[in-house]
Amino acid sequence: MKIDLNKLVDQYYLNLTDKLRGFGEEEFLKFWVPDTDKAKTLLNLIDALYESNTLEAHIINIDLQKNELKEISKLKDIAFSTINEKEIIIKIDPDKYKEYKIKNKSVSSSEINERIFENIDKLEPKNTSENIDEFYLKAAEKHTLKNCNLEFDEVLGNQTINYNIILSKNQIVKIFVNLSDGNIIKAYHKNQEHTKITKIIDIFCDIINNVPLQEAAEHGTIRLEFILRGLSKEKREMGIFLPNNAGGLLNLLDHELRKLYKKFKLQKNHDDQINKYYPEINPTWVEKNFQDQKKIVDGILEQEVFRQFNISKEDIILKRVIGGNRLEFELSNRLTGDFEDNNLFKIEDILKNKIDNTIELLSIEEKDSNELRLANAPKSN
């Protein structure tokens, strides 16, 4: 077996984004995870080969430094027959390697017990500014403003409280909260002139409109990052990307929302409650019977999916709707492998946009319709 290390590592990180399950057909990939340290990546790979009972392999394109080569060389006469800066010819001696693993485990445990961790009295403050990654600015470009420079004149007496998030002298987010239940009645933003972040703030107001202030404080920026990522046609290279990695703007919004929620609790004089907020499914959709729901889904597939993904109505068939928002489809044998792992996410997004944002797509394999083959298939007693 020949393994190109650089390609293998690149494929692993690509698959973290694109794959629903599994990172390859080879058995050893079930046990292997790369490391930021190349020597550890190779040691992990050797261990994965051993665990999968693959005792011989040829690893190329490794480009080891002298210190890394020295680290790997501790497995000489245990796991390889040839090693240099460019390649390793793996030949694992099972008995010697098993002994090495037992010894190495005991050493590691000892080192862990002696490890001393530095106490941190105060965490460094997060960057809170109007800066944000260019990726998100591009994602928001086509958004149409609808929550900007409005006037909210609805009067609810003493049951309404108004909060402001002042991003700058130019840009303010205004939030109206119902004192009785803590729900955000309306969120919009005002500015003297549009800036590069105006559309992102508009999307943010969309997200927190008509949700509890607690939910907005705890998950508002998480939802914002998720929606912006969905609007982009570019792919992020990492599988998990937290809001505070997006730039100072999401940190600023998160910080201000949590501060508002803390202020609201003091005004209401109550402790934190368990956040039990779940987005409601579109009632118009839920009230329809399955046949009507299927007609709507089939129409969306006909108009938005079949031609774009080069599939037909026989390839994807709605079988049932579970709990109002979980759509179970039967997929033909054509929709397997890379298609299922990548394009089903895109089809799910289309259904979310057309029906309801809570929609989830579930898939089952097409049942074998060949009656003769079914009749002759082995049967359990």
pLDDT digits (tens, 9 = 90+) for 89-143: 989 998 888 888 887 764 444 444 555 556 667 666 778 888 898 989 999 998 9
Say whether pLDDT at 300 is over 90: yes
Tell me the average pLDDT across 223-245. 75
- The pLDDT, as a whole number, for residue 32 is 81
Residue 298: pLDDT band with limits 50, 70, 90: very high
For residues 89 and 58, the answer to whether their CB atoms sit within 8 Å is yes
What gap in Å lies between CA 102 and CA 43, rounded to an integer? 15
Encoding tokens for residue 110? 């000892």
Q: Indicate the range of 4-8, 311-315, 316-320 predicted with least confidence.
A: 4-8
Which range of 31-45, 113-127, 309-323 scores highest in mean pLDDT? It is: 309-323
Tell me the average pLDDT across 155-173. 79
Question: From the centroid of its chain, how far is CA 367?
Answer: 31
What gap in Å lies between CA 325 and CA 327, rounded to an integer? 6
Q: What are phi and psi of 228, to 5 degrees?
A: -60, -40
Residue 151: C-alpha distances to residues 161, 187, 292 (Å): 15, 11, 39
Residue 352: helix, strand or coil by DSSP?
Answer: helix
- The pLDDT, as a whole number, for residue 123 is 65
What gap in Å lies between CA 117 and CA 54, rounded to an integer? 38
Q: Within 10 A of 226 (CB to CB), how many other CB atoms are there?
A: 14
For residues 225 and 203, the answer to whether their CB atoms sit within 8 Å is no
Say whether pLDDT at 238 is over 80: no
Tell me the average pLDDT across 339-368. 77
Tell me the average pLDDT across 3-14. 78
First to last CA, the chain: 42
Say whether pLDDT at 349 is over 70: yes
Residue 231: helix, strand or coil by DSSP?
Answer: helix
Question: Phi/psi zone of residue 267: left (φ > 0), alpha (ψ -120 to 50 degrees), beta?
Answer: alpha
Question: From the centroid of its chain, how far is CA 91?
Answer: 38
Nearest to 272 by CA among 222, 207, 219, 213: 213
**Helix, strand, coil fractions of the chain, as percent rounded to 5:** 45, 15, 40
Mean pLDDT (the chain, rounded): 80
Q: List the alpha helices (DSSP H) in the chain.
A: 5-18, 38-51, 66-72, 94-114, 134-139, 198-208, 213-231, 248-268, 283-286, 290-300, 306-309, 338, 344-354, 371-376
- The pLDDT, as a whole number, for residue 369 is 45
- The pLDDT, as a whole number, for residue 113 is 53
Residue 21: pLDDT band with limits 50, 70, 90: very low
Say whether pLDDT at 292 is over 90: yes
What's the predicted TM-score (pTM) here? 0.53
For residues 168 and 249, the answer to whether their CB atoms sit within 8 Å is no
- The pLDDT, as a whole number, for residue 212 is 92
| Long-range contacts of the stretch 270-279 (C-beta < 8 A, 24+) | 272/214, 273/214, 275/212, 275/214, 275/215, 275/218, 277/211, 277/212, 277/214, 277/215, 279/357, 279/358
What gap in Å lies between CA 350 and CA 125, rounded to an integer? 39
| pLDDT higher at 257 or 345 | 257
Q: At what angle do helices 198-208 and 248-268 cross, to 10 degrees?
A: 40
